[in-house]
Structure 1
Amino acid sequence: ILDDDPHVLGAWSALLGSWGLQVCLASDARQAFAHVDTGQAIDVVLCDQRLRSGESGFDVLLALLARCPQARGAMVSGEFDAPALRRAEDEGYLVLKKPVDVADLQALLGRWLAAPVDAAAAMEEPQP
């Protein structure tokens, strides 16, 4: 999970942890790449668009997915008309709008974590 708000990261950690998932938290690209560099298997990347560091969340998502080809990823944002989010959707990436519906998220993660990644199919994942 990549988000620059510590309260949001705490909420993500509590929710996903309650589902039995191991969660890696990062507030910027440097921290996210540090998790990847430890050799941890990354299966899912959820990335906020607007980061305090000035980084584009979508650019970070693309870089993380390039380094973790087995992973699936989605943007998460409270913004509804940001150019980077339109670009993400135009390129076939899933964009989840905050507040994320918990049941939809659980269903999405269940599908993503139950099946092996097919790079072409991962980009075509329909919105929940």
Structure 2
Amino acid sequence: MRVLVLDLDTRVSRALERTLRVLGHEVRCPTSAAEARAALQADPAVDIILAAQHLEPGERGTEFLRWAETHVPQARRVLISGTHCPPDFVEQPGLQWFQAKPFGRRELEALLRAPRPTQESP
């Protein structure tokens, strides 16, 4: 699975990257929301995005994931935060959800296994 991790806390980003690689996943860890947007515009092949709510000044994970929903619609999106789920974040089963920090390997594996919603026939 191809995973993009956007967390400016390098300890969190590195730990997620190491665990994801051990689990056999391809991982990209941009160092800013702008770099993440550029990377996804250049190569949108990503299956899941893990984005922290608190990014650099003027950037929030909720805003980044709204951008990703439009520009990388095939990617599932997870907002991660050590505080709370913001009221403007709308969870969409199988597509977009919130994960509280800290979380361990088991929770990470569950995030990656979360089923996609089924497409209804017209």
Q: Taking structure 2 as the reference length, what is the TM-score of the superposition?
A: 0.80
**RMSD of aligned alpha carbons:** 2.2
From 31, 44, 63, the counterpart of 2:35: 31
Name the structure with the higher strand share.
2
Once the two structures are TM-superposed, the CA of residue 37 in structure 1 deviates from its matched residue by 2.2
Name the structure with the higher helix share.
1
Counterpart for residue 99 of structure 2: 96
Secondary structure, aligned partner of 2:99: strand
Once the two structures are TM-superposed, the CA of residue 12 in structure 1 deviates from its matched residue by 1.1
Runs of 5+ unmatched residues, structure 2: none
Correspondence 1:80-91 to 2 at 5 A: 80=84, 85-89=86-90, 91=91
Runs of 5+ unmatched residues, structure 1: 121-128
Distance 2:119 2:78 in 1: 14
**Structure 1 segments of 4 or more deviating over 6 A?**
none
Correspondence 1:23-102 to 2 at 5 A: 23-80=27-84, 85-89=86-90, 91-92=91-92, 93-102=96-105
Distance 2:114 2:83 in 1: 25
From 20, 24, 37, the counterpart of 1:20: 24
Secondary structure, aligned partner of 1:51: coil
Once the two structures are TM-superposed, the CA of residue 101 in structure 1 deviates from its matched residue by 3.4
Once the two structures are TM-superposed, the CA of residue 6 in structure 1 deviates from its matched residue by 1.6
Distance 1:28 1:119 in 2: 33
| Percent identity for Structure 1 against Structure 2 | 29
- Alpha-carbon contact 1:2-1:46 (below 8 Å) kept: yes
- Alpha-carbon contact 1:28-1:53 (below 8 Å) kept: no
- Alpha-carbon contact 1:76-1:97 (below 8 Å) kept: yes
Distance 2:40 2:27 in 1: 13
- Structure 1 residues 6, 38: closer, same or farther in 2, change over 3 A? same
